[in-house]
Amino acid sequence: MHFAIERATADNARELAAVHIAAWQSAYRGIIPDDFLDSMPQQIEQRAEKFRQAIEEQQGFYYVPVVFSRNRKQNGKIIGKLVLWKSRDDDKPAAGEVGGIYLLEEFWDRGYGRAMMDFSIKILTDMGHTEILLWVLEDNTRARQFYEKCGFAFDGTKKEIVIGKPLVEIRYVLNM
């Protein structure tokens, strides 16, 4: 198997939506209410349109991790989604942000997530950012442990969001 991370195109939007939904259903089961997660496949077309529009309007940088069988591109399978952009936080205007990093469950614990994070850090530092942040659900201990292994640390900042129920997101920061 050969692995690559490529810039997403609008043509990837539907597959991005499918990967996004599957990754959410695996990663957030037990955190986000099941009825919300179970209803996500019904929204695939809306999500695909949202991703297509964001890619076309260059709202951040969308990347797709792809696995190729026998190094033949036509056999490539998108296995995740990566979104990078300038920080959206008013108190961190110069930071880069990992706005989304998702991987299909069958590829967890095989080094792909770490390769995606290393790629993210390189892209954002190449853009001149000396600080990188991301937001994670406080109850998502698996993701938090992964981010900590990658050198990120909780900076004490929290906010409440609602995804089927009130949840707390916490901010992790990596200083370069």
- Domain with 78 in it: what CATH number? 3.40.630.30
| CA separation for the pair 121, 111 (Å, rounded) | 15
Element (H, E) at 131: strand 131-137
Look at residue 65 in the predicted model and tell me its pLDDT.
83
Contact 67, 76 (CB under 8 A): yes
Burial class (CB in 10 A: 0-12, 13-18, 19+), 131: middle
pLDDT of res. 75? 64
Domain membership flag for residue 167:
no
pLDDT computed for residue 71 by the predictor: 47
pLDDT tens, residue order, the chain (176 aa):
588 899 999 999 999 999 999 999 999 999 999 999 999 999 999 999 999 999 998 888 888 888 765 545 546 789 999 999 999 999 999 999 999 999 999 999 999 999 999 999 999 999 999 999 999 999 999 999 999 999 999 999 999 999 999 999 999 999 98
pTM: 0.92
Residue 151 falls inside a structural domain: no
At residue 55, the pLDDT reads: 92
Range of the domain at 64: 2-134
Q: Say if 122 falls within a structural domain.
A: yes
Asked if residue 130 is part of any domain, the answer here is yes
Q: Is residue 31 part of a domain?
A: yes
Torsion on CA atoms 176, 89, 137, 41, rounded to nearest 10: -110
Do residues 144 and 136 lie in contact, with contact meaning Cβ atoms separated by under 8 Å? yes
Does residue 139 form part of some domain? no
Instruction: Please tell me the number of Cα atoms within 13 Å of 21 on its side-chain side.
Output: 20
Q: In this structure, which amino acid lies at residue 2? A: H
Structure confidence at residue 1 (pLDDT): 56
Q: What total number of domains does the chain contain?
A: 1
